[in-house]
């Protein structure tokens, strides 16, 4: 389940144990002291290093995609996500960019459809 490598010592990978995170942490530290390396050592121990290690908001799908999906029921969410997109929210976490852009496109299509409907009704 966890990708590990033993760079120098060629020892087998450490499997998760029943003893708990503290024991696993000690085993990983001992392996790294002997020259082995764990590719996902920090994720395995529950520590997050970078921006991509943290899960996205809204059950892991991101704010943009959540607004896109929920926007079919509440179109105002598309406009909120569009404001976030043009407010450079996606620079905080680049994984949000696609969902926010999809919401912006949905808001554009909704606006054009509403405009065409208003023109058709008033003519």
pLDDT for 30-40, tens place per residue? 665 555 555 55
Distances (CA, A) of 77 to 85, 100, 115: 12, 11, 18
In this structure, the number of other CB atoms found within 10 A of the CB of residue 42 comes to 14
pLDDT for 2-59, tens place per residue? 455 544 444 445 555 555 566 666 666 666 555 555 555 555 555 556 666 777 777 7
Q: Are 42 and 49 in contact (CB under 8 A)?
A: yes
pTM: 0.57
Q: How many CA atoms lie within 13 A of 121 on its CB side?
A: 6
Q: Are 15 and 41 in contact (CB under 8 A)?
A: no
**Helix, strand, coil share (%) of the chain residues, nearest 5:** 55, 0, 45
């Amino acid at each position: 389940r966890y990708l590990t490598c033993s760079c120098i010592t060629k020892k087998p990978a450490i499997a998760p144990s029943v003893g708990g995170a503290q024991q696993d942490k000690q085993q990983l530290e001992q392996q790294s002291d002997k020259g082995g390396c764990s590719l996902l050592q920090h994720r395995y121990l529950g520590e997050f290093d970078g921006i991509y290690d943290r899960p996205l908001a809204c059950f892991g799908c991101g704010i943009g995609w959540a607004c896109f999906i929920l926007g079919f029921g509440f179109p105002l969410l598309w406009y909120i996500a569009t404001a976030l997109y043009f407010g450079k929210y996606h620079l905080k976490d680049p994984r949000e960019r696609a969902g926010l852009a999809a919401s912006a496109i949905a808001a554009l299509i909704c606006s054009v459809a509403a405009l065409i409907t208003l023109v058709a009704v008033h003519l």
